[in-house]
Structure 1
Amino acid sequence: MNRDNILRVGVLIWLAVVWVALWGRISIANVLAGLAVGAAIMVTLPLPRIPVSGQLRLLPLVKLVGVSIYYALESSLQVAWFALRPGPPPVSGVLRVRFAFRSDLVLVLCTNLLNLIPGTMVLEIDRQQCVVYVHVIDISSEKAVAKFYKTIRVVEGLLIATFERRATPLPPSPGQEVSQ
């Protein structure tokens, strides 16, 4: 069995698991219906092929998961503090970030990670230049902006180390703009 077929079987199983979870009861009928619905979805709504190169490295993956959880918790506390503290809301804005990814899949994973962190939201992706525009809740000081870019570079480095052949990211581009 080649890699594509293994992937298709995995997606089919995942769709069946989701179907059974939605029904809330495990039974032979639900599992068979889930497989049938999953197969119908895969035939009528095929996903585009995404070229995948490189290999999965487990140690950087574990670090990536840990760092992502840490950043999500830290920013959740920051957003909660902004909501509860007296005074005006923080200055928010859109920051431009250039990435060194070669893979569309890694770029998508990175944007999804950024969207999971409270206080940030990816607004636009320029795939040709590998640039994303991210709304950030706090850009009130140079220190806050520098911290955001440091977080981005840590996540970028771990994604490259985890999924791509190249072990180190390219240096960040000089023109990182801020708009409010």
Structure 2
Amino acid sequence: MWAGGDLREFAMRLWSLFWLAFVWVLLWGDITWGNIIVGLVFGLVVMTVLPLPRVPVEGRLHPLAAIRLLLSLMVNFVQSSAQVAWAAVKPGPPPLGAVVRVHVAIKSDLVLTLAVNYINLVPGTMVVEIDHLRRMLYVHIFDVSKQKYIDAFFKQTAYVERQFIKAFERDSEWHPSPFHGIDDDYHHVPFSDRQRVAEEAERDRPSRGMRRRRKDDK
């Protein structure tokens, strides 16, 4: 069925239809009702005749958390761009790059793809391989000449992992797709890994509260 099996899948297909119509209008370069209607018809034909593999939608979007994630991407982009630019012009030996392995506790293939794109968009990092079954990412880092650079990368990756889970696949709202087996070890992400992410998020909250109290004391 074109509309999908549930409301979430239908919403994703509707988004794809509107996106194809938007691309059609951009190609013609003229926003008219005729182009919009033809774009919708064209998108419907493409999705019906040339369907892509079904991508299960198993979480729920939280707009505020997604906006915070987008803002953090902008900040990271600016900061990393400045660091890469400085490394390119500063005197001395070139930066020492390396590939490191990162384990993430993201269940959904769709959300994992978004997280990989996030990492790739930040200058100085590039995902070179994904171990789908073990949820391992092999990431090339621009500079590992100092331990603090490596620690900063792992800290940032842990933050990205937490924010994507908070924005798209909170455990309390997780509904496994019928296209996958329903178990606690879905996609080889055991409960202990998700608990680790929750504990890291809890450690962040008290630190913010302490900073607020210090400001109030002043």
List per-residue Cα deviations over 1:13-52 (Å, max 9, x = no partner): 2111111112211224422332233123212321222222
> Superposition pairs for residues 1-180 of structure 1, below 5 Å?
3=7, 4-166=9-171, 169-171=194-196
Alignment CA distance shift 1:23-1:86 (3 Å): farther
Secondary structure at the counterpart of residue 93 of structure 2 = coil
List per-residue Cα deviations over 1:78-124 (Å, max 9, x = no partner): 11111222222200010100001111111111101001001111111
Contact conserved, 1:100 with 1:170, CA < 8 A, in 2?
A: no
- Aligned equivalents of 2:35 and 2:78: distance in 1? 37
Structure having greater relative contact order (Cα 8 Å, sep ≥ 6):
1
Cα deviation for residue 61 of structure 1 reads 1.8
Q: CA RMSD in A?
A: 2.1
Partner AA of 1:73 in structure 2: V
Partner AA of 1:79 in structure 2: V
List per-residue Cα deviations over 1:130-173 (Å, max 9, x = no partner): 0010111011111100000001001111111111123894448x
- Aligned equivalents of 2:58 and 2:10: distance in 1? 17
- Sequence identity of aligned pairs in percent? 44
Partner AA of 1:127 in structure 2: H
Question: How many equivalent residue pairs?
Answer: 172
Unaligned 5+ runs, structure 1: 173-180
- Aligned equivalents of 2:147 and 2:97: distance in 1? 13
Cα deviation for residue 6 of structure 1 reads 3.7
Partner AA of 2:76 in structure 1: Y
Contact conserved, 1:160 with 1:169, CA < 8 A, in 2?
A: no
Partner AA of 2:138 in structure 1: Y
Which structure has the highest helix share of the two?
2
Contact conserved, 1:79 with 1:119, CA < 8 A, in 2?
A: yes
